[in-house]
Amino acid sequence: MKLALVGIGKIAVDQHVPAITASLDWELAATVSRKGHVEGVESFAAIEAMLAARPEVEVVSLALPPVPRFAYAWAALQAGKHVMLEKPPGATLAEVHALQALAEERGLTLYATWHSRMAHAVAPAKAWLQSKTVTRAHITWREDVRKWHPGQDWVFEPGGMGVFDPGSNALSILTKILPTPVHLTAADLDFPSNRQTPIAARLTFSGNVTADFDWRQEGHQTWDIEVETNEGQLALRMGGNVLEIDGNTVAGTSSIMGEYPALYARMAELVRLGESDVDLSPMVHVSDAMTLGRRASVDPFSF
């Protein structure tokens, strides 16, 4: 299938382009980006120009930040294209609901991707937890924003999500693996005094579940989810790529490179089946944290 990739920035270059070009399902037919391009692929500065010039493109994959993404998704669906959304799927829940309704009305596939759900050890972790009672869970997601989002001021603008940009990856795993859903009950959010979104957050959920997100972590980076149950302990490390049961590594690999190929394989499957896949549960937790969160002002942040 012919695919157009929109937003040729960090994640497009690091993950989308290698996954698309390595797949037998896809042909990268065009790109849309104001500045970026992919060598050997026709590039357009505006999505309307691409849609008009390349009617044979069937699928549009949006690797833009969340705030500008809605207008692009809407235009693509209106033009009869199936659409794949980077995470988090939108700047607000309501705009994703609007996209869902339009896709359904037009009989098109809408896929709200959560790349961390495709990490190697997530499926075995879900299977292990399925028959157990969770007594406690804790997420530690501490990384260096300067390393992973160099110079990306949009993450600190309204709708950029701040530390919930990576935190939503953890929440996408949590919502996938827990046998019983939880809901947020309290949050503490640290806003740099010169920024609009939090740089750190501590969350409390029902069911004795807690989370610690921090974007100021230099040196060693931590992406762990630890779960205690009535029948032993599980830990997902390396962003869901390594599974430990009672302290022993039982599955996974420390590479994250399988996640985007798995997303594109899933998109091909959804288009063939004529289905959509839009799970907003990780974003509901983010939205609830912004609603319930107690805000503190912390040191200003600059890249």
**Whose Cβ is closer to ligand NAP: residue 15's or residue 129's?**
15
Q: How far is CA 303 from the centre of its chain?
A: 22
Nearest distance from C-beta of residue 79 to ligand NAP, angstroms: 18
CB atoms within 10 A of CB 17: 20
10 Å CB burial of residue 221 (0-12, 13-18, 19+) is: middle
Do residues 236 and 121 lie in contact, with contact meaning Cβ atoms separated by under 8 Å? Answer: yes
The catalytic residue among 2, 87, 126, 176 is 87
**Whose Cβ is closer to ligand NAP: residue 78's or residue 249's?**
78
- The Cα–Cα gap between 216 and 301 comes to 10
**Whose Cβ is closer to ligand NAP: residue 189's or residue 256's?**
256
Nearest distance from C-beta of residue 65 to ligand NAP, angstroms: 5
> Token match 């972590």: residue?
217
Nearest distance from C-beta of residue 166 to ligand NAP, angstroms: 8
Q: In this structure, what is the dihedral angle of CA atoms 258, 261, 265, 268, given to the nearest 10 degrees?
A: 160
- The Cα–Cα gap between 204 and 129 comes to 20
Residue type, 235: A
Phi and psi at residue 145, to the nearest 5°: -60, -30
CA-nearest of 56, 55, 68, 102 to 83 is 102
- Catalytic residue status for 147: no
**Whose Cβ is closer to ligand NAP: residue 86's or residue 244's?**
86
- The Cα–Cα gap between 28 and 298 comes to 44
CA-nearest of 107, 118, 116 to 143 is 116
Nearest distance from C-beta of residue 116 to ligand NAP, angstroms: 8
Q: Which H helix or E strand runs over 42?
A: strand 42-44
**Whose Cβ is closer to ligand NAP: residue 195's or residue 234's?**
195
Residues that bind ligand NAP (CB under 6 A): 7-12, 33-36, 63-66, 68, 86-87, 115, 148-149, 152, 154, 165
Nearest distance from C-beta of residue 73 to ligand NAP, angstroms: 12
Nearest residue to ligand NAP by CB is 9
The residues annotated with a catalytic role in the active site are 87
